[in-house]
Each structure stands twice: as C-alpha cells, then as structure tokens.
Copies of this chain bind each other. A is one copy, B any other.
Amino acid sequence: MARREATRAAILQAAWDLAHEVGLTGFSLRELAGRVGMRAPSLYEYFDGKDAIYDAMFAAGSREFLAAIRGALGGDVTDPRSALRAAMHAFLDFATSDPVRFQLLFQRSIAGWEPSADAYAPAVEAYELSRTSLAAHGISGRRRLDLWTALVSGLAHQQVANDPGGTRWYDLVDDAVDVFLSHVGTTTDPDAIRP
C-alpha cells in the first residue's frame, strides 16, 4: 500500500530533521512520533525500533553517496588528474553538505549500532565503482588504493571535524591529487613496492 510507504517516508524525514537539529542520538522516539502526529509505540508499526530507523537513514544516505560518486565518475573526462579531482571533490562535497549524514555513514557514532548489510551495499558499490574507475586510468594495486582512500577520508574527516562550514581542507584537494599522482608516477609495480 502506498499509504504505508508515505508514512514511513514522513517518519524518516522527521528523523533527519531532528538529527540536524539535535544530533543523531539527541532525540527520543516520543519526540519523533510527535513530529508526525503519533505516539511512540505507533512507530513500531513502521519500524522495528530506533535501530531500524537508523538503518533506514543509513540506507538512504548510502544510496545518496553512491549517486554522488556515480555522478562524479560518470562525466566524460579522460585524463586521470581530472577524474581524481572530480572524485575527491565529490566526496568532500558530500561530506560537507551534510555533516550529520557523513557522521552517520562514515563514523561509528551510534553506540553499539551497526548498519545492516543491505543498507551498506550501495556504499560498497560506490567503493567498487571508484576502484574500477581508477583502474581505467591505470591506477591499481591495493596499496595505491589504500593510500587513496586514506587521503580522501583524511581530508574529509579533518574538514568536517576541524573546520565545519569552511574550506580549509577542501582547498587542498587539487594538491592532494597532485601528490597522489606523483606517487603513482614514481612507483610502477603496484603491489610489489614493499612486499
């Protein structure tokens, strides 16, 4: 029934609103229910509990992340430098445009909660997409990819944590890509650098 899905969507929207206002764990089910004109127990008709609501939020964020990465890699850029810059910019844009969502997706900030495999799947697909895209530009090897992910996540983490709303680490993206590419250029055999 469409009615049920509409109510689920309304609950999720209210949950995102509350998360932006008081933090991911700063609201109770009674508050959330109040936002959609219900009492707390009624929420259990639509979600199995608060964790299930977090999981649905994670799933939505995960799909948005995949879309963002897909959009950044889907252009018709041909040179590696432009492709890497687009990918890294997309990640930083995604992180800074909604720090709460970034926190939910990429930091383990909810006590004792972990996303389900289903909710996580799009994020995994986004990683695989990045991997194949880098490979298409001749960049492969686990060590190189790991250095790449460390660079990307490091910039995003520092930006969100230490300069929210600013561009202090965002402005380093082009430098970071240059640095990474010069590393790739000087190490030919992907995984045999330090065996």
B149, B178, B179: the one contacting A158 at CB < 8 Å is B149
Q: Which residue of B lies closest to A162 (CB)?
A: B149
Cα–Cα distance between A170 and B24 once the two chains are bound (Å):
31
* A193: B residues at CB distance < 8 A: 175
Stoichiometry, copies per complex: 2
Q: Tell me which of A42-50, A56-64, A102-110 binds B.
A: A102-110
Task: Contacts A26-B111, A107-B109, A182-B183 given; indicate if A168 touches B154 (C-beta within 8 A).
Answer: no
Cβ B178 vs Cβ A183 within 8 A: yes
* A112: B residues at CB distance < 8 A: 23, 25-26
Counting CB contacts under 8 A, is A40 at the interface? no
Cβ B175 vs Cβ A150 within 8 A: no
Counting CB contacts under 8 A, is A189 at the interface? no
Cβ A147 vs Cβ B172 within 8 A: yes
* A147: B residues at CB distance < 8 A: 172, 175-176, 179
Within 8 A of B (CB), among A104-132: 107-109, 111-112
Tell me, rounded to whole Å, the shortest Cβ–Cβ distance linking A58 to chain B: 15
Counting CB contacts under 8 A, is A171 at the interface? yes
